[in-house]
Structure formats: C-alpha cells, structure tokens
Amino acid sequence: MLDQATLSPFEGPLHDVARRVLVRHPEHAMYRAGVLSASAYYAFVDRIAPELVAAGVPACEVHFAKRYPRDPELFVREALARLAHAGIVPDATPQRAGAASAMEHAAQYDHGGYGTFIYPEEALLLSALAAAWSARSAVFLGSYYGYWASCVAAEIVTRGGRAVLVDPDPHANAVARRNHARYGDAVRVETATGAEFLAAANDTFDLVVIDAELPRSHPDPDEAGKAIYRGLLRDVLPHCAPRAHFVFHNILFEDVTGDAYLAGIVARNERELGRFRAVAARELDTFVELASTEGVGVGVRLR
Ligand SMILES: C[S@@+](CC[C@H](N)C(=O)[O-])C[C@H]1O[C@@H](n2cnc3c(N)ncnc32)[C@H](O)[C@@H]1O
C-alpha cells in the first residue's frame, strides 16, 4: 500500500481531468475544429478556470490548458515535419500503427494512484520519435511510475530492443515494474538516481529520455527542480551510441499565449535550465523546442 502523501491529488493523466470539463463546452469542439481563434480559446480557458479547479485541476496547471494543441495527431505531424527539416528525423511521416499501440498502452496503464503531466501529444510524440529513429536501446532518467516509457516500450521491444527505467523512488518503480512486467528482461526498472545508475552501467543508449525532477527547495541549486537535467545529460554522454537521440520533458522557453503565469515559468526555466542549455548547445548537434503543453526538447548527438 502506498503512503497517501506520495500519491497525486489526481490519478492518471491530468489532461483526462481537464478534458472532462472542456468537452462540456462548445468552445472546446470549436477550437479543435479550427473555428475558434487562439485568443478566444485563451479567454475561454480563463473563464472556465474555476470549473477546472473544482474538477481537480491544480490552479497553477489551468494555465497550461492554453497550450493544449488543437489536435494531438496534427501536433505530431507538424513536429515531425519540423524535426525532419532540422535533420533530426529521417522522414516526416508518422507511423500510424505504432501510435495506435502507444495510445492503447497508455489507456490501459495502471497508474497505481499516481498522476502524470504527460499530455496526449507528448505521449504520441515520443512514440512517433522512437519509431522514426528505430530506437533499440533506451534509457529513461527520472522514469517516475513508467507512464511515458509505456508509450514506446512495445515499439522498442518488438524491434528486439530494450529499455531501462531509472528512478530513485521505489514506490513509483513498483508501479512501473508491474506495468512493464509483460516485457520480461527487455524492460528493466532500476531504483537509483541517474548518476548512481550511470556510474555503474556498461550499457550504450541510442535514445535518452530525461524527465527527472527534484523539489525546488533542494539545497543544491544545480540539482533543484529541473536543474538536475544538466548533470544527467553530462553523465549519460559517455553511454551514448553514435547518433543518439534525446527527448527532454518541460523544455519551455517559448510561449505565445501571453499568459502571465506561463511567462513566469519561462523566466524560471531561463534560470533553472540555463546551465543545462549550455551543455546541450555544446554536446548536441541539434536541439529543438517543441511547443507541447509542457514543452518538449528534442536533440541529436552525431558523435
Ligand atoms: C515527478 S517525475 C516528473 C513527472 C513527469 N513529468 C510526469 O508528469 O509524468 C520526476 C521524477 O524524477 C525522479 N528523480 C529525482 N531525482 C532523480 C535523479 N537524480 N535521477 C533520476 N530521477 C530522479 C523523481 O523520483 C520523480 O519520480
């Protein structure tokens, strides 16, 4: 039994909670259909904020609803086109079978009391990228309870590949293990910090997914919040195959909504992720920010 303090106030994707409210309003369908302008949609989100909060969306998370894409599949198609143009994926065409299987696994996931800020377009995106890159050896640093990894595990394992999920939280790992047990030894869940795991690992990875986070009250500013990305990126580099691909959650430096709270998130990221960005600029050959709900960074290292 999990300690209630470790559990989220909502279970599963936060987007599911918000969506139950959004679909009650015609503006949501109009936005998805492309007949409501972005600015009218932002005003709509502000108007229904109390309803979203009453349904269980934390007040600060309501602002992110302004960044929901009109259509997750369209988001992925546009993202792949941009990444193909940047030379990060070979081809701009998403593989539909993989996407369907990713969403099926995501829908069947046993969240074990945990909640996730991985949004539908971010789940689909990771699946599309793993397929486009034919990933065979993935590491997830800050795998939490394994939800994001579940969007690509079947894809990787079917190709004869393997994945390792790394997180120091044993409770979250137990949920990840339960959900990934069907893959046998092809998916390992390691209870360790990324630094501990990488110091002892002999593995080589062609896909690195980083989503670790420490409390912002952590005494070391180089580790607090998402600042931990810098050390994890530095530590994983010796374990990377030539032409390794990288996916980072919460890369949000550009926001077009005009929302003051989100402007604050950008300012915080500038401070917290500044040193990570410098390492990424030096060590990755290309790095692109995609404007998903929480922001995703995608990179490639050719060396
Ligand atoms: C809470 S999750 C991020 C949530 C995720 N974005 C989602 O919405 O599903 C961050 C995870 O990073 C893990 N973590 C903290 N320090 C870490 C480290 N040094 N190495 C790897 N993971 C770490 C935490 O245990 C936690 O499970």
102-116 pLDDT tens trace:
778 888 999 999 999
Same domain, residue pair 13 and 94: no
- Taking the centre of ligand 1 as the mean of its atom positions, its distance from the CA of residue 24, in whole angstroms, is 33
| Calpha distance 246→243 (Å, rounded) | 10
Radius of gyration of the chain measured on its C-alpha atoms? 18
CB proximity list for 163: less than 8 A, separation 6 or greater: 137, 138, 139, 140, 149, 152, 153, 156, 157, 183, 186, 187, 188
Average pLDDT over residues 16-24: 97
Domain of 174 in residue numbering reads as 72-301
- Taking the centre of ligand 1 as the mean of its atom positions, its distance from the CA of residue 44, in whole angstroms, is 32
pTM of the full predicted structure?
0.96
Of 21, 40, 67, the residue that ends a domain is: 67
Same domain, residue pair 59 and 76: no
Secondary structure of residue 136 in the 3-state scheme: coil
Of 20, 37, 67, the residue that ends a domain is: 67
Same domain, residue pair 100 and 126: yes
pLDDT at 92: 73
Report the nearest atom of ligand 1 relative to the CA of 231.
Answer: 19
Same domain, residue pair 60 and 77: no
Torsional sign, CA 105, 107, 109, 114:
positive
The count of domains in the chain is: 2
Same domain, residue pair 38 and 184: no
Q: Which helix (H) or strand (E) holds 141?
A: strand 137-141
Lowest mean pLDDT among 81-85, 100-104, 275-279: 100-104
| Calpha distance 227→296 (Å, rounded) | 15
Same domain, residue pair 92 and 52: no
96 has a pLDDT exceeding 70: no
Same domain, residue pair 63 and 83: no
Average pLDDT over residues 160-180: 98
| Calpha distance 250→295 (Å, rounded) | 5
Average pLDDT over residues 262-283: 97
**Token reading at 171:** 């409770």
Same domain, residue pair 57 and 125: no
| Calpha distance 143→171 (Å, rounded) | 12
Tell me: the pLDDT tens digits for 32-76? 999 999 999 999 999 999 999 999 999 999 999 999 999 999 999
Average pLDDT over residues 185-195: 98
Report the nearest atom of ligand 1 relative to the CA of 194.
Answer: 20
pLDDT band at 2 (very low <50, low <70, confident <90, very high): very low
pLDDT at 123: 96
Same domain, residue pair 171 and 239: yes
pLDDT at 4: 43
Residue 217 sits in a domain whose CATH number is 3.40.50.150
Of 35, 67, 99, the residue that ends a domain is: 67
> What mean pLDDT value characterizes the chain?
94
| Calpha distance 72→122 (Å, rounded) | 8
For a ligand 1 pocket test, name from 6, 126, 144 the mutation site with the most ligand atoms within 8 angstroms of its C-beta.
Answer: 144
Same domain, residue pair 201 and 79: yes
- Taking the centre of ligand 1 as the mean of its atom positions, its distance from the CA of residue 186, in whole angstroms, is 22
The CB density around residue 134, as the number of other CB atoms within 10 Å, is 13
Residue located nearest, by CA, to atom 18 of ligand 1: 193
**CA-wise closest residue to 226 among 255, 194, 254, 200:** 194
Same domain, residue pair 117 and 223: yes
Could you give the C-alpha distances from 134 to 126, 161, 218, in angstroms and in order? 12, 9, 37
pLDDT at 107: 86
> 190: Cβ below 6 Å to ligand 1?
no
Tell me: the pLDDT tens digits for 210-252? 999 999 999 999 999 999 999 999 999 999 999 999 999 999 9
